[in-house]
Structure 1
């Protein structure tokens, strides 16, 4: 069964909440230390990026309306395909500057 944009938007919302949940009371040192935390956060960012990629194919005006949508997909590609280039400090900073309110 084909999914619609609302399902992908829900995936994005759920992934954002999951990132917030896993990082409650987590310091940068904790984030650096525990690969399980990093893996969880990175996996949710991959879901966010993939959902946006699929939205781009279904509803381009909505995709273009979402701030930084292309950069988010690029970040997803970095995490999935060039994981060695991922900087933990930058990911942690991104979460705190752009995701957690």
Structure 2
């Protein structure tokens, strides 16, 4: 693993954990009606995607060990450049379907450092 990779993985874990904690127990409808939470979640997905983009550039072998890492980067690009077409249901899908596997992969990689 390249020297910068652990910091990037920790950034991903921190942002993903924030999303997990702040949305735990909520419904899609509650998420849709809470603008501050939606924007905070979107910002943390942007951080995840940017850290993943940097990880891919600095350490492509480590990035490749994260499920769907290219899709994570693409999601970041949509959030940043397509802010006006963001569907909260799609963001919610990322929360409910993609967050747990991402956290598992990142925690596994960070666990190899111990």
Asked if TM exceeds 0.5, the reply is: yes
2:18 pairs with 1:13 = no
**Alpha-carbon separation, structure 1, partners of 2:100 and 2:23:** 9
Matching residue of 1:83: 83
Task: Report runs of 4+ in structure 1 exceeding 3 Å deviation.
Answer: none
Higher RCO structure (Cα 8 Å, ≥6 apart): 2
2:68 pairs with 1:52 = no
**Alpha-carbon separation, structure 1, partners of 2:100 and 2:35:** 20
- TM-score, length basis structure 1: 0.91
- TM-score, length basis structure 2: 0.81
Considering only aligned residues, what root-mean-square deviation do their CA atoms show, in Å? 1.4
- Show CA shifts across 1:55-78 (max 9, x none): 111111111221111111010010
Please, which runs of 5 or more residues in structure 2 have no aligned partner? 102-114
**Alpha-carbon separation, structure 1, partners of 2:58 and 2:48:** 15
Deviation at 1:27, TM superposition (A): 1.2
Please, which runs of 5 or more residues in structure 1 have no aligned partner? none
